[in-house]
Amino acid sequence: MMRVAIIGNSHVGAYLQAQAAIEAAFPTVELSFFALPRHSFSSCSLDDDGVLSAQERPAGGLPDRIDLSKMDHILMVGQGFGREGLDSLVQDFDVLGLAPQGHARSVSLPLVSEYTNFRVERYCRKLARFLHEDPRCVVAPRPFPTLDMPRWAREQGGWLDHPDAERLTAIWLDAVIWHMSRLKYGLMPQPASLVAAPGRSPAAYARAAALPEGQTPTAADFTHMNADYGFEHFSAYAQHWLGLAPQSRNTSPSKEHHNGLGPQ
């Protein structure tokens, strides 16, 4: 069996929900999980024996440690790569050379690029220390918000609501690719099949699209993904990084999960 650990923050939930579907489609893969909501690098530690431990016990009955020394591969998901910094900058300033947004203050586009580069570089330095540049690890940025995010939830969108989101997204992604290329980790940018528009995920993959009937979505349900996303994202990871193709499937991982067939 090929042992794969999926670690990270609350975005691990999409893969947990899809676990049964993933292991059925990839019968040579055995999954393990380690998730901390609102995960930061300071909230857990990796000892010399390869055991990753939470500083505080996770909620929801999740394990508070995982022995990574026993894993063949590690997929670290849901990482922000300094997106919050660019969010704040674009929300507070107009960017000269891009579509004006009516802010009282403005900054130049080169300054935005330099600031983004600084934030991403600092994030990658922390990431390098976190898992000691373990070459088994592939890092995936957190999903983009979904295309159908309602106006009342737009504060979660950050720069992705800007008319020039495509250009701003390219500045951020170029910085991520450059700085990650200097680490021993792999980088898995969002697969094209899971991008509906620049900086946006398809609506069908949102947690909001898979909520039980009658449950009102929150803003987080448009930034967190469902089991279908977890399955599709892992499939892309497995094909590129593990050399594995999924066996055919006829049902949706989200439907399996909500019908009681997937992990609860």
Residue with the bigger pLDDT between 159 and 136: it is 136
Tokens representing residue 175 in the block: 């910085």
When the pLDDT of each residue in the chain is averaged and rounded to a whole number, the result is 89
> Do the beta carbons of residue 148 and residue 222 sit within 8 Å?
yes
Domain boundaries, the chain: 2-81+120-242
Greater confidence (259 vs 131) lies with 131
The answer to pTM > 0.85 is yes
**Residue 258 to residue 214: CA distance in whole angstroms:** 14
CA dist 125 → 35, 41, 182, 230 (Å)? 21, 11, 10, 27
Task: Decide if 12 contacts 77 (C-beta within 8 A).
Answer: yes
Closest CA to 9 of 80, 78, 89: 78
Pairing outcome for strands 65-67 and 51-54 = antiparallel
262 pLDDT above the threshold of 60: no
CATH of segment(s) 2-81+120-242: 3.40.50
198: CB partners within 8 A, 6+ apart = 160, 165, 166, 169
